[in-house]
Amino acid sequence: MTLKEEIQRRRTFAIISHPDAGKTTLTEKLLLFGGAIHVAGAVKSNKIRKTATSDWMEIEKQRGISVATSVMGFEYEGYKINILDTPGHQDFAEDTYRTLTAVDSVIIVVDAAKGVEAQTRKLMEVCRMRHTPVMIFVNKMDREGKDPFDILDELEQELQIAVRPLSWPIDMGERFRGVYNMYRDSLDLYKPSKQVVTESVHVELQSSGLEKHIGDSLSKKLRDDVELITQVYPVFDREAYLAGHLAPVFFGSALNNFGVKELLDCFVEIAPSPRPVQAEERIVDPYEENFTGFVFKIHANMDPNHRSCIAFVKVCSGKFERNVNYRHVRFNRMMKFSAPTAFMAQKKEVLDEAYAGDIVGLPDNGGTFKIGDTLTSGEELHFKGLPSFSPEMFKYIENADPMKSKQLNKGIEQLMDEGVAQLFTHQFNGRKIIGTVGQLQFEVIQYRLLHEYNAQCRWEPINLYKACWIESDDLAQLEDFKRRKYQYMAYDRQGRDVFLAESSYILMMAQQDFKNIRFHFSSEY
């Protein structure tokens, strides 16, 4: 196969959802179709069990297990599919944001009864920012849920994206009969089963064959519904989908393996192969001969006796090969890797080559990589677009053991390189503030500082609402703002100005009073 063919057949995506909507179940069913696993239930170890949510050590243990499954690669109908797993626990949302920088598209799972939930809304914002194409799977149709038309309205409003159903449910709950596949004009009849693929029959919507399968009244309702859909929703436009303006919607039941194959078949056909990636210097085309890639995630080993990490590299262009020298741009040093790993379903195995779209795992035994690092065949290149979002929780981090301040600083720096949390330094008094999206991360940091760096930290409260990156063309106003707010100004790790707003009211007033200043809630602007 040529380089071009290899890259064209790749589909790299993430499944995102609010916890419990059915992400794990759907992932598992996709793997079943790919032949990557043979029994249902095999991916469960990938999931952070709900019973353990207050015990983060347990969670970390489970995340450790999940390294092998954090990327699931498999072959399906000539396509190479890479599913990037995202942690279900919302305290690790930052991980999910970063994973979204490494995918070419996204499938969103929504629970038909619950509709759009908080976490989904937030993740969609990230997709929108990056113009990531999204497809939506409305799950749990075997249960009583909202009216499908209401769900479509809700999706449009809450996720702020145009939608177009490509399959349509025939009733729901106990009366659920199947879906009409509008993409292929076929009727898929529902048979509740966790393992068996459902029956699909080709039926013209207007033919009497429909009555034979689903009876008179459901046939009439289906025809009316489909007519309404064609009147209300424009014809599916792939370009609009690829531009991130339109989300095709599918209905089904992941648990019963229903509607999943339809989703997958349509997905491989219309979802994008690796897309060009913006670097600071230029746009990198995936089909370029030379290899380029960037680190989007670092997974640390929680075992203090083996302080090793795996750096996850997304290949952006060309072909990556084992034992070939590549340039680590930040160090300006050539390096080769003798044991890069591929992630095939549940196995981790040493790979010899990988293509644009693939994820390569590089073992790192000592601070070689940090999030955002670029590797190339030699070119000076910096991939950008690994945004930090304003954290939601803030605490001062203080040294609890004055003899170990060096260790503490080193530990903090390295944990931040891994992307565990964000560090801000107060411009006024130099105190360090750690920002996270969840309480668990503070516990993780404290534990890891002690066990890996032999340093002790103490948390002190600080009452903050948001961190905003600020900029302005009006330098006089910017200076005036910084002078007046000097007690609330900090630097991020790149030395950029960050305003720490105490409340939404204070932020609103600042925005009103300083009209020439732009306040950003993510570091990418």
AA letter at 447: Y
Query: Which member of 103, 110, 123, 255 binds ligand G4P (CB under 6 A)?
Result: 255
Kindly state the number of chain residues that form the binding site for ligand G4P, as judged by CB under 6 A: 18
Nearest approach, Cβ of residue 278 and ligand G4P (Å): 31
Task: Please answer whether residues 399 and 295 qualify as being in contact, where contact means their C-beta atoms are separated by less than 8 angstroms.
Answer: no
Taking residue 202's Cβ as centre, other Cβ atoms within 10 Å add up to 11
Tell me: does residue 441 bind ligand G4P (CB under 6 A): no
Non-local (6+) Cβ contacts of 384 within 8 A are 278, 279, 280, 524
The whole-angstrom separation of Cα 70 and Cα 73 is 10
Q: Is 140 in the site for ligand G4P (CB under 6 A)?
A: yes
Which one of 73, 88, 372, 438 is in contact with ligand G4P (CB under 6 A)? 88
Binding residue (CB under 6 A) for ligand G4P from 85, 104, 142, 418: 142
* Structure token digits, residue 87: 């942690």
| Closer residue to ligand G4P in complex, CB, 256/374 | 256
Nearer to ligand G4P, 67 or 138 (CB): 138
Q: Can you tell me which of 61, 143, 223, 348 binds ligand G4P, judged by CB under 6 A?
A: 143
Interface residue with ligand G4P among 68, 93, 151, 254 (CB under 6 A) is: 254
Choices 116-124, 247-255, 282-290, 374-382; region in contact with ligand G4P by CB under 6 A? 247-255
Q: How far is the CB of 47 from ligand G4P (least distance, A)?
A: 6
CA distance 179 to 251: 7
SS3 9: coil
Binders of ligand G4P among 18-47, rule CB under 6 A? Answer: 19-25, 47
Per CB under 6 A, 418 contacts ligand G4P: no
Transcribe 189-242 into DSSP letters. E----SSSPPEEE---TTSTHHHHHH-HHHHHHHHHHHHHHHHHSPPP-HHHHH
Q: Do residues 173 and 181 make contact, with C-beta atoms less than 8 angstroms apart? A: no
What is the distance, to the nearest Å, from the Cα of residue 524 to the centroid of all Cα atoms in its chain?
A: 16
22-35 residues labelled b (16+ CB within 10 A) or e (exposed): bbbbbbbbbbbbbe
Among 69, 99, 139, 374, binds ligand G4P (CB under 6 A): 139
Query: Quick check: 253 binds ligand G4P (CB under 6 A)?
Result: yes
**Residue 346 or 522 having the CB closest to ligand G4P:** 346
CB of 200 to ligand G4P, least distance (A): 18
For residue 123, state whether it binds ligand G4P (rule: CB under 6 A): no
List residues binding ligand G4P (CB under 6 A). Answer: 17, 19-25, 47, 88, 139-140, 142-143, 253-256
